Amino acid sequence: MKNIFKNKKKSRLISLFVTIAFVVFLIGCVYIDSVSILQIQEDGTTQAPIAKAGSIATFTLKGHIICKEDHGDVQFIVSFLAPKSWNVRQNATVTYTTTLATNPDEELKMSVVPESSLPKNGGGRTWGEALMQDYGVGPNVLSDMEWVTFSTDDKWAIYNGDKPDYTIYIRTNVGYQNLKAYLGFFVNHTDDGLSPTDTDHKKIKFSDTPFEVVGGKGLLIDYSSEHFNKVQPLASLQDDFVTFSFNGGVFQNDLISSNEIYFEGTAYDDNGNIIAQVNEKTDKTLLKRESSFDQIYSLTMWPASFFNVPEGQVIKKIDYVFTNKDRSIMITQSDDDFAVEGKPITGEKNPFVFELLCE
Amino acid sequence: MKSKTLIAACMVLATVFFMSCDAFMDHDFKDYKESYKDIAGVWQLKSVSRNGIDISNSMNFSQFRLNLNEDGTYTLENYLPFAVKGNGNWNVDDPQYPYNLTLRETSGNEVTIGLKYPIVNGKRIISITLSPGCYSNTYIYVFEKIENN
């Protein structure tokens, strides 16, 4: 009796092991060979990781698969990390070519994976949520970015020994906001669906250099490098809750030694007229340290209330600085330019500027 | 001796079995009705998340109150960005299964917002998703009912 039970247990374990092995070696390995974010510039010949605001940029991802098991009905996945303002879900067109196809030069369609279609092994999270939790925004320092996932419209049969190549083209409008950000690319397939234990079936790559949008609206938003200041969410209006942060740990500065760090700001309307100036040194303007592990101090505000905006008036931009209680030390945009780019400070210091835009 | 014990055990089991048969009648289930959700009351804002990140500790949100009065009127106390700006009248789409809360300001402006109404830690809460500022920013306001003493 005992032996029968033992044998049953043994055979269950063997079948479990076989099942796991089958799943692991279902496809084999997926590779990303290269990512290109270069765009042809206005002269028609030069290539650079720069696009004009409002234009359509093409990002190209090349890779291959080494298949170790026969399989049918699989859809290939690509996820793209980009600034939220690009609205990739609405604006992007994604196609691919593959040597698996009868015509390897034909561009085939990929479509956005709806939120309701969860990855098989994503633990109940959507593709976007899981990628953001697992990989974040990569080398970027601002979080107003999103992962948008696309799957091949066609389902593929792929067999042991197949070594197909693929090229994915992501064409999207880069919006009108001037910005600079690293872009992220992720590949996987529906049968793996973000399996947490395996890296053979998924690969991730961020662009080696930041991608830049120029000639658009507003001041440059730099997602790609650390600065003294940070504002979240980047797309905000006066009825949002907006967080202004001072990152005192990124560059040498005297303000970080102060016991109390304050926010001083001036709100302007569309015509450049001052709506209100807040420079009191009270709890209202005092920044709170986010955690004991870093030196980031933040203040979250509802701008309409913080600046006591009269009914009918609208804040268009906020000039602000971080300072200590007696205003003897100030961190401004000029200090940031000096720290980041080595730009010398001449004359009066310029404040940080936050434009309230919603695009 | 053994068989007597066996017979006694069988009789006990049979008694329990037959007694249990009548415990639930079909009509008990048919008569069941989902209770009306008592949504009227004073609701205090307990937590706020912005684009999926909890910002409840970033500023003082707890003063904001949504008073849903029994007479069908509502008032807002210590206003924070919300679906409506002024006071007015309220109603839900279904008192048994309220999925939508409609707020009609006295100015005539009417807004219907999606409502979740679960019990968390033994307390009824209201969870409302809204975008009072830029449309791309989504906030979830969670209100807890203030019980009358």
Q: Which of B45, B54, B61, B134 to mutate to test the interface with A (most CBs of A within 10 A)?
A: B134
Same domain, A180 and A231: no
Nearest residue on chain B to A311, alpha-carbon basis: B85
pLDDT confidence of residue A3: 52
SS3 A77: strand
User: How many angstroms separate the CA atoms of A120 and A137, rounded?
Assistant: 23
Contacts of B111 in chain A (CB under 8 A): none
Pairing of strands B41-50, B139-146: antiparallel
- Domain region containing B71: 41-146
| Structural domain includes residue B31 | no
Q: Which of B116, B119, B118, B88 is nearest to B102 (CA)?
A: B88
Could you give the angle at the alpha carbon of B57 between the alpha carbons of B52 and B58, nearest 5°?
Answer: 80
Phi, psi torsion values for B3, nearest 5 degrees: -65, -30
Q: A266-280 pLDDT, tens per residue?
A: 999 999 999 999 999
User: How many angstroms separate the CA atoms of A241 and A256, rounded?
Assistant: 25
Whether A241 sits inside 8 A of B51 (CB atoms) is no
Same domain, A199 and A333: no
Same domain, A42 and A156: yes
Residues 65-94 of A with CB under 8 A from B: 84-85
CA-based torsion, B140, B143, B144, B145: positive or negative: negative
Same domain, A305 and A261: yes
pLDDT confidence of residue B30: 57
A298 touches chain B (CB under 8 A): yes
A296 touches chain B (CB under 8 A): no
Q: A172-229 pLDDT, tens per residue?
A: 999 999 999 999 999 999 999 998 887 888 999 999 999 999 999 888 999 999 999 9
| Structural domain includes residue B124 | yes
Number of domains chain A is built from: 2
Q: Which of B80, B137, B139 to mutate to test the interface with A (most CBs of A within 10 A)?
A: B137
Q: Which of A294, A292, A279, A288 is nearest to A325 (CA)?
A: A279
SS3 A300: strand
pLDDT confidence of residue B27: 55
User: How many angstroms separate the CA atoms of B22 and A44, rounded?
Assistant: 86
- Domain region containing A301: 226-355
Here the CATH number for the domain that contains residue A237 is 2.60.40
Nearest by CB to B136, which of A238, A298, A358? A358
Number of Cβ within a 10 Å radius of residue A241: 23
Whether A358 sits inside 8 A of B48 (CB atoms) is no
Pairing of strands B123-130, B119-120: antiparallel
Q: Of A218, A235, A253, which residue sits at a domain end?
A: A218
pLDDT confidence of residue A171: 98
DSSP H or E run through A128? helix A127-135
Pairing of strands A217-222, A177-181: parallel
Nearest residue on chain B to A301, alpha-carbon basis: B59
| Structural domain includes residue B5 | no
Tell me the residue ranges of DSSP E strands in A69-191: 71-74, 76-83, 93-98, 108-112, 145-152, 156-158, 165-173, 177-181, 184-189
Put residue A256 in one of left, alpha, beta given phi > 0 → left and psi -120 to 50 → alpha.
alpha
pLDDT confidence of residue A21: 41
Instruction: Classify residue A185 by its DSSP letter.
Output: E
Same domain, A181 and A301: no
Same domain, A86 and A195: yes
pLDDT confidence of residue B148: 64
| Structural domain includes residue A331 | yes
User: How many angstroms separate the CA atoms of B143 and A356, rounded?
Assistant: 28
Nearest by CB to A358, which of B48, B59, B134? B134
Number of domains chain B is built from: 1
Here the CATH number for the domain that contains residue B58 is 2.40.128
pLDDT confidence of residue A279: 96
| Structural domain includes residue A6 | no
Instruction: Please give the ipTM for the structure prediction.
Output: 0.77
Same domain, A125 and A198: yes
What is the torsion angle, in degrees rounded to the nearest 10, for the CA atoms of residue A5, residue A9, residue A10 and residue A11?
Answer: 100
User: How many angstroms separate the CA atoms of A36 and A63, rounded?
Assistant: 12
Same domain, A213 and A255: no
Instruction: Classify residue A259 by its DSSP letter.
Output: S
Same domain, A159 and A192: yes
A233 touches chain B (CB under 8 A): yes
The tokens for B31 are: 């008569």
Weakly modelled stretches of chain B, pLDDT under 70: 1-3, 10, 13-37, 148-149
CA-based torsion, B107, B113, B119, B123: positive or negative: negative
Q: Of A200, A218, A236, which residue sits at a domain end?
A: A218
Task: Judge contact between A298 and B53, C-beta under 8 A.
Answer: no
Same domain, A125 and A265: no
| Structural domain includes residue B24 | no
Nearest by CB to A300, which of B51, B55, B135? B55
Whether A239 sits inside 8 A of B136 (CB atoms) is no
The tokens for A95 are: 């196609």
Contacts of A305 in chain B (CB under 8 A): 80
Rg from Cα positions in chain B: 25
Whether A236 sits inside 8 A of B134 (CB atoms) is yes
Query: What's the gap between Cα A291 and its chain centre?
Result: 23
| Structural domain includes residue A3 | no
Q: How many CB pairs under 8 A join A and B?
A: 51
SS3 A86: helix
Whether B134 sits inside 8 A of A235 (CB atoms) is yes
Q: In sequence order, what are the beta bridge partners of A170?
A: A59, A94
Q: A47-101 pLDDT, tens per residue?
A: 999 999 999 999 999 999 998 877 788 999 999 999 999 999 999 999 999 999 9
| Structural domain includes residue B98 | yes
H helices of chain B, in order, are 2-21, 26-30
The tokens for A28 are: 């084999």
Q: Kindly state the percentage of chain A with pLDDT values over 90.
A: 77
pLDDT higher than 50, residue A111: yes
A304 touches chain B (CB under 8 A): yes
User: How many angstroms separate the CA atoms of A102 and B36, rounded?
Assistant: 61
Residues 29-48 of B with CB under 8 A from A: 48
Question: Which pairs count as long-range contacts for A108-111, CB under 8 Å and 24+ apart, including other chains?
Answer: A108/A152, A108/A153, A108/A154, A109/A152, A109/A153, A110/A78, A110/A150, A110/A151, A110/A152, A110/A153, A110/A168, A111/A150, A111/A151, A111/A153
Contacts of B139 in chain A (CB under 8 A): 241
Whether B50 sits inside 8 A of A238 (CB atoms) is no
Q: A294-337 pLDDT, tens per residue?
A: 999 999 999 999 999 999 999 999 999 999 999 999 999 999 99
| Structural domain includes residue B55 | yes
Nearest by CB to B58, which of A129, A237, A300? A300
Nearest by CB to B137, which of A233, A301, A305? A233
Q: Mean pLDDT across the stretch A165-169?
A: 97
Same domain, A245 and A150: no
| Structural domain includes residue A277 | yes
Phi, psi torsion values for A157, nearest 5 degrees: -100, 130
B124 touches chain A (CB under 8 A): no
pLDDT grade for A20, boundaries at 50, 70 and 90: very low
Contacts of B81 in chain A (CB under 8 A): 239-241, 302, 304
User: How many angstroms separate the CA atoms of A103 and A97, rounded?
Assistant: 9
| Structural domain includes residue A157 | yes
Most distant pair of Cα atoms in chain B: their distance: 88
Whether B59 sits inside 8 A of A241 (CB atoms) is yes
Q: In sequence order, what are the beta bridge partners of A96?
A: A108, A168
Lateral strand order in the sheet of A288-289: A229-232, A242-247, A296-301, A288-289
Whether B133 sits inside 8 A of A239 (CB atoms) is yes
What is the average pLDDT value for chain A, to the nearest integer? 91
Here the CATH number for the domain that contains residue A213 is 2.60.40.1510
Q: Mean pLDDT across the stretch A9-38?
A: 64
The DSSP result for A27-72, as a single string, is SEEEEEEEEE--EE-TTSS-EESEEETT-EEEEEEEEEEEE-S-EE
pLDDT confidence of residue A17: 46
Q: Of A177, A197, A218, which residue sits at a domain end?
A: A218
Contacts of A142 in chain B (CB under 8 A): none
User: How many angstroms separate the CA atoms of A94 and B137, rounded?
Assistant: 26
Same domain, A206 and A338: no
List Cβ neighbours of A337 (8 Å cut-off, separation of 6 or more): A343, A345
User: How many angstroms separate the CA atoms of A149 and A268, rounded?
Assistant: 39
